[in-house]
Homo-oligomer: A and B are copies of this chain.
């Protein structure tokens, strides 16, 4: 990873659209997956029902789906104990544990910086309000969906010698020097 970065290992690169690691990035970035990793890392193996209560608001579907994917990816093991009430425990594998550190940091960052983010949002909304009207009604247009307003006479290309104008009227947050 020192210089130009491409000879040490058969490297994966998440910046590449086709690289499998990008999908993996998506998977491990999932809300439920990250919470599950942290929960399982925090207190040993956990039963399905314990996870249900530990991770508030998760539905059976999402819980099972996430656990299944994690099991398939080798992040957790699933152990069935055929006791009287059937019991199933989930536990992090070594691979899963290697993710734990990162996930903890992710969750902690979110919790630690929540207030700063909130402040930033408030400031942003204060300076930018008006751009996003409350949109009270769906669409103030006539009852019939304006089907003809769509096309509109295509005006012939009027002198595009401007190429791209400097007179920018778009959204502005900060302006630099030309």
Minimum CB–CB distance from A59 to chain B (whole Å) comes to 11
Interface pair B81/A178, CB less than 8 Å apart: yes
Q: What is the total number of copies of this protein in its complex?
A: 2
Residue A62 CB within 8 A of the other chain:
no
Minimum CB–CB distance from A123 to chain B (whole Å) comes to 8
Q: In the complex, what distance in Å separates the CA atom of A163 from the CA atom of B163?
A: 76
Residue A142 CB within 8 A of the other chain:
no
Interface pair B176/A109, CB less than 8 Å apart: no
Q: Of the candidates B54, B77, B82, B105, which one forms a contact with A102 in the assembled complex, judged by CB atoms under 8 Å apart?
A: B105
Residues of A within 8 A of B (CB): 10-18, 20-22, 24-26, 28-31, 34-35, 39, 54-57, 71-74, 77-87, 89, 95, 98-99, 101-102, 105-107, 109-121, 123-125, 163-166, 168, 170, 172-178
